[in-house]
Chain A
């Protein structure tokens, strides 16, 4: 029997599979929280999810935190800390994954979560950085999870909130960001992207039923597409069951 799943579920499952067990993850609000929790309750039980407001590695909570400061982030946690405490891990290089959302992304993985239009005359004012600039600057591997289309995958951001590779190889290091850090994967409703040696975005894996032309049609910049593209497996029954248990009321999914 075929397994039914939504696009959002596919995104979250694909993102959750990226996390290697035993690592530390700083996670942003929304889909990132759910993807990290899914990883922890399935194939990576020993990842440490760190919420910047101070919740350190809580057991899978009875209800999903709707923000990184939700009280469920300290429910059965190993520690109820504060922001300066959690930020010291990112500053000192102990933040292995940063898991972020974004409104716009450019070919180098720079992201905008601040404003569409001009800063002092916005078409839409978005929430802003939150901890994204901090984590995207300091964590080793940043994973961005977002929906893609031509207005979101853009050649030029309206506002650069969180630095990716800025504008090419070596630039992060040159401007003083920690060497070896940066965007690692971008997960959308169509597939999973990485960054090549020139630090521009390239397609890594595509979802079942998605065509290359859809990838191109939903991006405002050229994405390098390798000759052979692997297909990301569909969510398994176990993954979907675990995911729906985490978010039974569909707050995110």
Chain B
């Protein structure tokens, strides 16, 4: 394996590509979250970021709580039911420190799809946004949240269009990649592919760096090709406390801790302990082991459940001779061949 110029630490990748005021997306849907990368964004105290994310979980909540975000375009942002728990989104909205633009899951995905395909807009079936308050109440997108046109193929029919969106940077955590940056991810794919491909820069962290041969023997698992990946970060436990299929499960007790914090102060001390007091993901995991023991971590490790093998083989040759026919068979013009078959 040669030295790859894409391979870098989370610290280097975030420093190089995430600028104050830029737009970011977390390209994992609700499967894994790129915590190694988002914690680095928080550690570097990036400000005024614009988060574009269909369904959002703990990583988004932490970016909010840490004061990194100014705007969110989302369809869903997890909060726990009891309102006694501290919820940064409530507080920041009330204080007018963030703005939120609501969509549905599919319409956020449709915007990234248009972004990834280079389309001017994407039509949304059923006018579902138009008749709901999602369409009526508009925040920072204003007029451009959605537009209605007449279907040129069926005059009289109204069609809702959403505009493309192209985040400056996508952060994603996946199972593995080769050194060139061919990212492989498996499990439910959500809107991962379009969220990533719509973005101008892609930073991927992976559990494992494999050799190129492994990728070439399992090409159907690749979700982002090397030429779109700008930075590759090798980060074991990079999605903890979310799961990474085939590597580890969700750490539910640890994850719930975050959502059960009752005050802003408690949230700040959580971030101090788990984000600011550690240098990187390795130290985070070391701290976890110190606090809870290696057994607890080992309990999360995935058991083996291998996919059924498939044959990707062929004869790997195109030898006409072995079938007793040669290229001369096809030398006649097609029209004559047809005639000859008819005579037969």
Contacts and interface: CB of A to CB of B under 8 A. Distances in A.
A119 B137 contact: yes
Interface in A5-41: none
> How many A residues touch the partner, as a band?
35 or more
A92 to B, nearest CB: 9
Nearest to A132: B104
A231 interface: no
Contact of B189 (A80, A126, A138, A160): A80
Interface string A110-152: 0000100001111011111111111011100000000000000
A138 B188 contact: no
A42 interface: no
Contacts of B83: 124
A176 B126 contact: yes
Contact of A125 (B89, B103, B109, B245): B89
Interface residues of B, number: 55
Contacts of B29: 53, 69, 83
B192 interface: yes
B93 A137 contact: no
A81 B186 CA distance: 10
Contacts of B133: 114, 119, 159-161
Contacts of A51: 188
Interface string B105-148: 11101000100000000000111111111100101000000000
B243 interface: yes
Given A128-B74, A137-B126, A176-B127, A69 B186 contact: no
A119 B72 CA distance: 14
Contacts of B137: 119, 159
B43 to A, nearest CB: 26
Contact of A129 (B76, B125, B190, B193): B76
Contacts of B186: 74, 80
> Which applies to chain A's interface (DSSP): helix, strand, loop or mixed?
loop
A177 B126 contact: yes
Query: Which of B90, B107, B190 has the most chain A CB within a 10 Å cutoff?
Result: B190
A107 interface: no
Contact of B243 (A71, A121, A133, A138): A71
A204 to B, nearest CB: 26
Given A53-B30, A69-B29, A130-B75, A178 B131 contact: no
A219 to B, nearest CB: 21
B30 A128 contact: no
Interface of A: 51-55, 66-71, 73-75, 80-84, 87, 90-91, 114, 119-122, 124-134, 136-138, 159-163, 166, 175-178
25 contacts: A68-B30, A69-B31, A73-B188, A74-B186, A74-B187, A74-B188, A74-B245, A80-B189, A83-B105, A83-B109, A84-B191, A122-B90, A127-B76, A128-B76, A129-B105, A130-B75, A131-B75, A133-B107, A133-B128, A134-B105, A159-B137, A160-B133, A161-B132, A163-B128, A163-B132
Given A83-B189, A122-B94, A136-B128, 13 more contacts: A51-B188, A53-B189, A71-B31, A75-B305, A114-B102, A121-B93, A122-B93, A125-B77, A130-B104, A131-B104, A131-B105, A163-B132, A176-B127
